[in-house]
Amino acid sequence: MMEQNDHQQRRTAEQELEQSLNQLEGMLNDENLAEDEETQAEEITDAELVDELGNIDLAAFEDAVADIEQYLQEKTK
């Protein structure tokens, strides 16, 4: 029973990590697309840069980092 619970917790943590990594990958892909567009543009202004950085979903990024940290902690136990 205890092993099954541990297995389920690991599986849940693995799924959460995978989901977080997928979110992070999507964010990075979106950022790369934005960078490609920027290289085609003449020059980006500071105001445009601030606007672009404001579009990053900081909460989702922080959640992904937290999930990765939790996964690593569980893996090193």
Residues 2-30 have a mean pLDDT of 85
> pLDDT digit string (tens) for 51-71?
776 677 778 888 889 999 999
- Tell if the pTM clears 0.75, that is, is over it: no
Say if residue 42's pLDDT is above 80: no
Contact at 8 Å (CB) between 72 and 18?
A: no
Domain containing residue 42: 2-76
> pLDDT digit string (tens) for 23-35?
888 888 877 776 6
State how many domains the chain has: 1
* Distances 57 to 26, 34, 43, 62 between C-alpha atoms, Å: 11, 15, 24, 9
